[in-house]
Every structure is written in C-alpha cells, then in structure tokens.
Amino acid sequence: MAELRFDVLGIGNAIVDVLARADDDLLVRERLAKGSMRLIDAAEAERIYGALGPAVESSGGSAGNTVAGVASLGGRGAFIGKVADDQLGAIYRHDMRALGVTFDTPPLADAGVPTARSMILVTPDGERTMNTYLGAAQALGPEDIDEGVVAASAITFLEGYLWDPPRAKDAFRRAATLAHAAGRRVALTLSDSFCVDRYRAEFLDLIRSRTVDILLANVGELRSLYETAHLPTALAALQADAPLAAVTSGEDGSYVVTPGRIDHVAVDPVETVVDATGAGDLYAAGFLLGLARGIPLTDAARLGSLAAAEVISHMGARPATPLKQLAAEAGFEMGKW
Amino acid sequence: MAELRFDVLGIGNAIVDVLARADDDLLVRERLAKGSMRLIDAAEAERIYGALGPAVESSGGSAGNTVAGVASLGGRGAFIGKVADDQLGAIYRHDMRALGVTFDTPPLADAGVPTARSMILVTPDGERTMNTYLGAAQALGPEDIDEGVVAASAITFLEGYLWDPPRAKDAFRRAATLAHAAGRRVALTLSDSFCVDRYRAEFLDLIRSRTVDILLANVGELRSLYETAHLPTALAALQADAPLAAVTSGEDGSYVVTPGRIDHVAVDPVETVVDATGAGDLYAAGFLLGLARGIPLTDAARLGSLAAAEVISHMGARPATPLKQLAAEAGFEMGKW
C-alpha cells in the first residue's frame, strides 16, 4: 500500500471567485435563481461582469475550498484542477500552495482560454448566486489525475460539478478507480440541486455502484436526487443506497447517515450569515478530515459545522481565521500521523 | 469656465491590492517597517508573494481608493492612472466603472509589464505593511492627463506616491497647471512618511509655491515633513505654509488647519480595527467631497472620519457598505448639483 501522505485530495473545477454585493433587483433583472450555480459562456460572462458592482477576487471552487479548509484545520491536502497560464491562474496556484496544499496539475497551454471565474452575487440575506465561466477548467482530463497522489490520499473528494465539463467525467472515473485500487475511499458532493437535476441518474449510479463511498449533500440536493419534498423519505432512500453520507441542513445542523442509523447533529446558531458561499465546502472539509483521522462520525459532523460557521461569518468561501485554532478551542484533537 | 462634472478627480498609481493576513514574525523576517509602503521590483515581488499566505485581490491605490470613496458617498468621481492590458487591469477598470467613476486612461500596450500590485500584509493589530511593484503604473505620463476632465473637476487630487514613478511627476505638474487654469483647486496627500523622506524638499515647494491648494496628511507624515517630533510645532509650520490642510491622527480624529485657526475634530472610537488599509484615502474622500460641495470644513472632516471608520472595520481599502447611506444616517446632506 502506498504511503499515506494526504488526508484529502480534492479534484474539481479550479475557479477564481469574483465576489460582489448585489440587490435582489439584479437577480430579478438577470433572471437568476437565488442560491444556484449556472454555467455561462465568455460573452455572457462579459455582459454580467459589466452589470456587476465593484468586486473582490478570491480563489474558490468547491473542492478547492474544501481542500483549503482541510489545510486550515491542520490536515494535509492535495488538489487536482486546471487553471490557465495567466494572472488568475497564478493567483489560484499561489493561494493553494500558501496553505501547504500540493497542487501540481500543469496549467492549460491554450492562450485563448483563461482561468475559470465565478461571478458570485451576494444578496443582503447572505445568500449567494453563482455565474460560472469554466474556461480552462473545462480542459481537465484523465491525464491530469496523478496516480501517486490519489494512492497517497486517505480520501479522494470529487465535486458533482465535474460532471459539467466533458472530459472531467473521465478524470473523475479514473480517480475513483485508482483510489479504490489503492485501498482508499472516494467521496462525492452533489454540489447544487440544479447540478443534481442535470445528472440525477448518473449520480445515483455512482452511489449504487459504489464508485463513491461517501456522499455529501445538503437537504435541497438530496430532495432533488430522490425527487421528493419529504426529507425523511429522501434520507431513508439515501440510507438504502449509500454506505455513508452527511447531509447538511443549514441552521438545523446535519445528518450523518449510515445503514444502521441516522444521527442528527445540531449546531449553535450563527449570529449573522454574511455570505453563505463555501458553507457546504467547508462542512465537507471538517467532515472528511474527521473521517480521515478516524474520529467518531458525529464529531466529524461537528467539525464540519465548525468550519462552515466560520466561513459564512464573512465574505468569501475560504477561511479568514486559521481553523486549526478554532477547532482546538472547541476541543478537537486531530490525532497524530 | 468648463462645466463642472466631477467633485473629485483622483490621479494616482493604479494598483491591485493583494491582501493577506500575516504574523509580526513575517515582518521581522522580511525586515519590513510596519505601517510603511516600500517599492519592490518584479523579482522581489515574486519572492515575497512566495512567502505570503493565501490572499484576496481587490482594486486599490491611494487616489483610486479616494475616488471610490467619493463615488460611494454619492459624489461624482473621475480617475486617471495606468494599468496594463491584462486580467488585473481589466479588474481595476471594472471596479472603477462599476462605481460610476469615469476612468478612460488607455492601458499600457507593453505586454511585458503587468498591472501594478501591492502585497499588503495585515498584522493581528490591524496595521498594514505594503510592498508595491509599480509595473504599468510607472508609465503614467503627462500625455495621460485629460484636460477636459481636469477642467471639469472641482478638485484634482494627487497622491505623493506619484513622485516615485519618473514620468508621473510631469503628469502631476501638468494636471496642477490645467486645474488652476480652469479655476479649480488642487489637493495633495503626503501618502506615507517614507515617501515624505524621499521627497521632502519637493513636497514643501509644491505647498509653498501654491502648486497645491489643499494638503492631506497624517501626523506621522506631517512630523516627517517638518522634521519634528512635536506635533504643535509641525501644525504651526503647516499653518504658515498651506492655505488649507487636514491632518489625521488615528483615533484622535483630525485637525483642520487654515491660516486663521486650527480646529480639532474628534471622532467616535472604532471598536476593532480589522485592517487600517485605506483609512487615510477614505478620510480624503469625505473631506474633499465635503469641500467640493461647500459644507463647513469641520463637517467635511467629520465626513472624512465617517468614511475612514467604515473602511478600517473590514479587510480591504474600499468601502464594503455604500457610504452614501451611512452619511445620510449621520445627518450629512451633500446638496444638489
């Protein structure tokens, strides 16, 4: 068995967030569904950017945020994702490596295709609505999956958004195959209820075929997956399909689902949600790091909620405070390597 | 006389801020003087960036921040500054125009020189230490000064940092000449006490020759200008030299200095200084907009302090909340055009 070098390897779209505050009026005018992520092309990206207020740029991407969270918690992370050889790509790489994350995917050599960016409109209620131009992230393919890194990672974490770019699906399958061949586990986040709508049958197949061992979702995505508004029904269906899942439910905390039982793990309320961007990604960071280190599942869920609470208390999808310190203050002991 | 179209025209280095939290240890290791701005070359920029933690990018630059503040307060702003034709340059232009600021300076056509960036290390005490690579900003020259825009601006505001790039000095002088020919006023900020050290004699000459009508400084810069640790002595010297000045003194508020009198204007304490970046720039925004609209000088100083208080309460040098609203809540009436 390969040496264990990473708690979590994240594979996902390498995206720079362009964060701007926006009124609900702008969402109405642009016909955007609040809380969703939609894909746009270069021309649409330019048009929306023109309508957007002053913004702040920050490295993002779902799996990228999760790995950043793992590193901030004191875990060891690796990332695979495609940036372009441009300024935003250099920023993305820097922000990963500055956290100690191993990120060696070569940038796309095509000068005409820039690094992916997501224009994130943060409304006064703290909700975020994302408009993503995938750019270079579309070029991620199976050749980018580093076998050595996958084999050295306790958990390989894949985002459902990878089902969007055409070749990433092959990268996803290759990563899952390599991880299992090395005796490691594979986790998937459903990403977004619209994403689930696009790929429902395929996602169900990934779970039922055990291509994925651990599922992460929020209640909206889970309801979409099983096409039911009734949460207990969806949770029961999930329990029948998946060996292990964590389902977040906003201020209601989360559910840890195993074949034997469903545990509800409550959370302390967060005073003000400034920006919900990254909440699910950071929950995944805590939960997966907890799993990788072998702490009880409900504690892993609490660690996830702790990381999520930090990220929704400020603008941006990555921790503004070292999470390791917050976790230690809350009594978490991550154990030694 | 040309039609008045702008309250404040800012002319300065167009810089994208790269903001990262840092420990005091990093400052010691890199031998950086806390609270200062130092200029670095491309190689040094790369080295420091490598040592920097995860960062967030945001449009900045001293005069740029001031004009953004003027626009956020509901005033009309214009900006002249040089970016490159690259991703960071496009971000800078977007962030200005999204505020309604007129910014038409053509980008630098030299593909080898990128848009300026300043790596800003924010320490736990909220102080900021800046490392600036000027890049394309160095190319600002007198040909970039749009006569029509200068003549249409009540106040042309120049940053002392313009004395650093070689040709910007000529741009500065041309702007001042054009402004006075159009019957407008010229304001200068001393920018930084190290900047004052570099150009003390020239700055004094700008004030004494009335090239500059309004001076903005903080107490550290003023002490450096007159080479005295004794504030009353420095204020008296300033009073003898300048027709109008505003001197900020952190939590002690500011002084409005005119030949006839010196008024101290107190401020409400700010609970926690998260990031001091932009404090002086935003004070200038409120003070200059107040002057342009003809409100009493001490009220203009209060408006400056209100804008500064907002910007130091969060990361980043530009307002996160529309200042117009905060000003209205505080009873400021900017008047009509």
Average pLDDT over residues B13-33: 94
Pick from A52, A54, A57: which is nearest to B57 by CB? A57
pLDDT above 90: percentage of residues in chain A: 93
Whole-angstrom Cα distance, residue B225 to residue B228?
8
Q: How confident is the model at residue A335 (pLDDT cuts 50, 70, 90)?
A: low
Question: Which residues 114-153 on chain A approach chain B with CB closer than 8 angstroms?
Answer: 114
Q: Quickly list DSSP for A229-259.
A: S-HHHHHHHHHHH-SEEEEE-GGG-EEEE-S
* ipTM associated with this complex: 0.93
Q: What is the DSSP letter of A102?
A: B
Q: How confident is the model at residue B110 (pLDDT cuts 50, 70, 90)?
A: confident
Yes or no, beta carbons of B21 and A59 under 8 Å apart: no
Yes or no, beta carbons of A98 and B54 under 8 Å apart: yes
Confirm whether B37 is domain-assigned: no
What the block records as the tokens of A112 is 């005409």
Whole-angstrom Cα distance, residue B179 to residue B152?
9
Confirm whether B197 is domain-assigned: yes
pLDDT tens for B250-279 read 999 999 999 999 999 999 888 889 999 999
Average pLDDT over residues A100-120: 95
pTM value is 0.95
Q: What is the distance between the terminal CA atoms of chain B, rounded to a whole angstrom?
A: 16
Whole-angstrom Cα distance, residue B312 to residue B156?
25
- Are the C-beta atoms of B133 and B45 separated by less than 8 Å? yes
Average pLDDT over residues A210-230: 97
Q: Kindly identify which residue of chain B lies nearest to residue A56, measuring between CA atoms.
A: B58
The answer to whether A91 contacts chain B (CB < 8 Å) is: yes
Yes or no, beta carbons of B55 and A87 under 8 Å apart: no
Question: Which residues 24-83 on chain A approach chain B with CB closer than 8 angstroms?
Answer: 49-50, 52-59, 68
Question: Which residues 6-25 on chain B approach chain A with CB closer than 8 angstroms?
Answer: 20-21
Q: What is the pLDDT of residue A166?
A: 85
Model confidence at B304: pLDDT above 80: yes
HEC readout, chain B: CCCCCEEEEEECCCEEEEEEECCHHHHHHCCCCCCCEEECCHHHHHHHHHHCCCCEEEECCHHHHHHHHHHHCCCCEEEECCCECCHHHHHHHHHHHCCCCECCCCCECCCCCCCEEEEEEECCCCCEEEEEECHHHHHCCHHHCCHHHHHCEEEEEEEHHHHCCCCHHHHHHHHHHHHHHCCCEEEEECCCHHHHHHHHHHHHHHHHCCCCCEEEEEHHHHHHHCCCCCHHHHHHHHHHHCCEEEEECHHHCEEEECCCCEEEECCCCCCCCCCCCCHHHHHHHHHHHHHHHCCCHHHHHHHHHHHHHHHCCCCCCCCCCCHHHHHHHCCCCCCCC
Pick from A52, A56, A99: which is nearest to B57 by CB? A56
Average pLDDT over residues A140-165: 96
Give B316's contacts in chain A (Cβ within 8 Å).
Answer: 56
Model confidence at B166: pLDDT above 90: no
Confirm whether A308 is domain-assigned: yes
Total beta-carbon pairs less than 8 A apart between chain A and chain B? 59
Burial of A250 (0-12, 13-18, 19+ CB in 10 A): middle
Cα A89–A95–A98 angle (5° rounding)? 135
Confirm whether B52 is domain-assigned: no
B28 or A1: which leads in pLDDT: B28
Tell me the one-letter amino acid at A51. Answer: A
DSSP β-bridge partners for residue A57? A18, B57
CATH code: domain of residue A205? 3.40.1190.20
- Are the C-beta atoms of A69 and A282 separated by less than 8 Å? yes
Q: Kindly identify which residue of chain B lies nearest to residue A55, measuring between CA atoms.
A: B95
Q: What is the pLDDT of residue A336?
A: 52
Q: What is the pLDDT of residue B336?
A: 52
Average pLDDT over residues A178-194: 97
Model confidence at B96: pLDDT above 60: yes
Q: How far is A320 from chain B (nearest CA, A)?
A: 8
Yes or no, beta carbons of A320 and B21 under 8 Å apart: yes
pLDDT tens for A1-53 read 689 999 999 999 999 999 999 999 999 999 999 999 999 999 999 999 999 99
Count the domains in chain A.
Answer: 1
- Are the C-beta atoms of B247 and B289 separated by less than 8 Å? no
Q: What is the pLDDT of residue B89?
A: 98
Question: Which residues 278-297 on chain A approach chain B with CB closer than 8 angstroms?
Answer: none
Average pLDDT over residues A148-166: 96
Confirm whether B20 is domain-assigned: no
Q: What is the pLDDT of residue B337?
A: 42
Q: What is the pLDDT of residue A337?
A: 41
- Are the C-beta atoms of A111 and B111 separated by less than 8 Å? no
Q: How far is A241 from chain B (nearest CA, A)?
A: 39
Yes or no, beta carbons of B320 and A114 under 8 Å apart: no
What the block records as the tokens of B48 is 């420091």
Confirm whether A174 is domain-assigned: yes
Confirm whether A122 is domain-assigned: no
- Are the C-beta atoms of B179 and B149 separated by less than 8 Å? no
The answer to whether A87 contacts chain B (CB < 8 Å) is: yes
Model confidence at B23: pLDDT above 50: yes
Query: Starting from the edge strand earliest in sequence, which strands make up the sheet with A15-21, in order?
Result: A37-39, A128-133, A116-122, A15-21, A56-59, B56-59, B15-21, B116-122, B128-133, B37-39
Q: State the residue range of the domain holding A215.
A: 6-13+60-111+135-329
Whole-angstrom Cα distance, residue B305 to residue B286?
7
Q: How confident is the model at residue B101 (pLDDT cuts 50, 70, 90)?
A: very high
Model confidence at B135: pLDDT above 80: yes
Confirm whether B123 is domain-assigned: no
**Averaged pLDDT score across all residues of chain B:** 95
Whole-angstrom Cα distance, residue A149 to residue B58?
33
